[in-house]
Structure 1
């Protein structure tokens, strides 16, 4: 039985190879958009979105600093598994992170994902100024 499970896992991995390069890829569905994005499991989600949507006006996710500090690429992952790098807590609180919120520039998809944009505008600092 274990051998059969292992074979199915291997077969699934083989179907997710990117153009013969040997890198595992997953599919990213964007809620409300018929298009999907292919993304390597070792590639940042935002990088894949930028590659697939060359016209910035057509991108379903905003692009900002690309380093997890501005919050422009805030998303909510509604399906799938992923890993993240450190993100600014000004833009994604620990509680929000447990609910699936993340910054696309810090997300590495591990399985097929469904995401929705979740940009919430400028964050106010303690003095009430936009940051």
Structure 2
């Protein structure tokens, strides 16, 4: 069954089936309302706040969405599956200062090289 997903801010909406993640459905229809990272629930780049609706979630890193935040309606869009119409908004990810939170492997490598160059001088 398909459900309407609305992302407030840019006010984008699209349909998403119950067995597809919100992030995958968003990408499929060409929307860019939520940032895309690892797509496996670890980096927190696609963090959203669910404002209304019914859903289920897959496994998410508790470093990116704590159990308390899950109860408050936060999730990662790559692990968010609609069970009815959803209304969301993009939310800032946690731990953005940590190199471990950088999902882009090239950016992570650039930071590591810069850190090593700084230690060598």
> Smaller-chain TM-score range?
0.7 to 0.9
Paired with 2:76 and 2:3, the residues of 1 have a C-alpha distance of 18
Matched, 1:130 2:99: yes
**Counterpart residue number, 1:91:** 64
**Counterpart residue number, 2:21:** 44
SS in 1 for 2:4: strand
Structure 1, unmatched stretches of 5+, are: 1-23
Runs of 4+ in 1 over 4 A off after TM superposition: none
Paired with 1:39 and 1:83, the residues of 2 have a C-alpha distance of 13
Matched, 1:34 2:22: no
Q: Kindly report the root-mean-square deviation, in angstroms, between the aligned alpha carbons of the 2 structures.
A: 1.5
Q: 1:105 aligns with which of 55, 78, 99?
A: 78
Q: TM-score, normalised by structure 1?
A: 0.71
Q: TM-score, normalised by structure 2?
A: 0.77
Asked whether the 8 Å contact 1:76–1:117 carries over to 2, the reply is yes
Structure 2, unmatched stretches of 5+, are: 101-121
Paired with 2:90 and 2:56, the residues of 1 have a C-alpha distance of 18
Deviation of residue 122 (structure 1)? 4.1
Higher relative contact order (CA 8 A, sep 6+): 2
Deviation of residue 41 (structure 1)? 1.0
Asked whether the 8 Å contact 2:5–2:85 carries over to 1, the reply is yes
Asked whether the 8 Å contact 1:91–1:123 carries over to 2, the reply is no
| Paired residue total | 100
